[in-house]
Amino acid sequence: MSILYIVRHGQSEGNIMGGFAGRVDYALSEKGKKQAALTAEFLSGVHLDAVLTSPLTRAVDTAKPIAARHGLDLVFRPELVEFDFGDWEGLPLAELEQRFPDAVPTWKNRLPEVACPHGESMADCYARAKRALAAITAEYAEKDICLVTHGALIKCMLCVLHGYPLSEIDRAIWANNASVTKVVCTGGQYTIEYEGYSDHMGDLVTGVSKALTGKK
């Protein structure tokens, strides 16, 4: 049996700016740093054998206090990087809507069909999430590990963990910043014990932009 704690990075400067952050290497905001500290405290009472992280700064700086609490070094995993938004990436929302008028409506209303110019498609990300989960649970069989990653990849991971096809990805939640999802893996089967837990952050909870999802 393996246990996975899947953590979304804390609020980043890109989250505050709006638009699609993707692989732009934004730092955590001041609130994001506080969220990361609270999540590290929340996870301080669980056993961890490893902390794996996306190489982007906002994920690394969320993972550091978790690893420090457990006396562990970070393990960098490129497959945990955020969705590649290609030409949509890093643009302020007004400029994004002007240059790519179909981008936000497609993202909000037809997520399985998203295919970013010079970036990933949602089908690519879903497949990457599925490969990452399979590879990591095989490599860390019988271990308890924390994965620190990003909103779009977590949504794809939750879709896989629930057994939903990509066409039903809207059934999976958008995880809040620094939220925690606990998954038990036994014999290749996944059981979600809780998902997107963020109550430990009190009034510091922040989520995915409603301007991009239409949801809180």
Among 13, 47, 79, 82, the active-site one is 82
Residue 110 tokens, joined:
């037809």
Average per-residue pLDDT in the chain?
A: 95
Instruction: Clarify whether 82 is annotated catalytic.
Output: yes
Return the higher-pLDDT residue of 215 and 104: 104
Residue 187 has a pLDDT of: 84
Element (H, E) at 186: strand 180-186
Residue 1 has a pLDDT of: 87
Alpha-carbon distance of 32 to 151, in angstroms, equals 14
Which residue in this structure is represented by tokens 């997520």? Answer: 111
Task: Using the predicted structure, report yes or no on whether residue 111 has a pLDDT greater than 90.
Answer: yes
The answer to whether 19 touches 91, Cβ cutoff 8 Å, is yes
pLDDT digits (tens, 9 = 90+) for 16-68: 988 899 999 999 999 999 999 999 999 999 999 999 999 999 999 999 999 99
The answer to whether 117 touches 87, Cβ cutoff 8 Å, is yes
Alpha-carbon distance of 10 to 26, in angstroms, equals 11
Task: Using the predicted structure, report yes or no on whether residue 215 has a pLDDT greater than 70.
Answer: no
pTM of the entire predicted model:
0.95
Alpha-carbon distance of 123 to 85, in angstroms, equals 13
pLDDT digits (tens, 9 = 90+) for 165-209: 999 999 999 999 999 999 999 988 999 999 999 999 999 999 987
Question: Based on C-alpha coordinates, what's the Rg of the chain?
Answer: 16
Q: What percent of the chain has pLDDT over 70?
A: 97
74-76 and 189-197 strand pairing: unpaired
Residue 214 has a pLDDT of: 57
Angle formed at CA 55 by CA 50 and CA 58, multiple of 5 degrees: 100
Q: At what angle do helices 122-139 and 151-162 cross, to 10 degrees?
A: 70
Among 9, 89, 150, 195, the active-site one is 9
Alpha-carbon distance of 179 to 35, in angstroms, equals 9
Q: What percent of the chain has pLDDT over 90?
A: 91
Instruction: Clarify whether 89 is annotated catalytic.
Output: no
Task: Using the predicted structure, report yes or no on whether residue 216 has a pLDDT greater than 50.
Answer: no
Residue 210 has a pLDDT of: 66
